[in-house]
Amino acid sequence: MNIYKTETIGFCFGVERAVNAVYKILENEKFDGKKIFTWGELIHNPDIVRELAEKGVYATENIDDINEGDVVVIRS
What pLDDT was estimated at residue 18? Answer: 87
Element (H, E) at 24: helix 13-27
- pLDDT at position 16 is 85
pLDDT digits (tens, 9 = 90+) for 17-76: 888 999 999 988 777 778 899 999 988 889 989 999 999 999 999 999 999 889 999 876
**Sign of torsion over alpha carbons 35, 55, 38, 62:** negative
A 10 A CB-CB count for 55 gives 12
C-alpha pair distances (Å), 69 with each of 37, 51, 61: 11, 23, 17
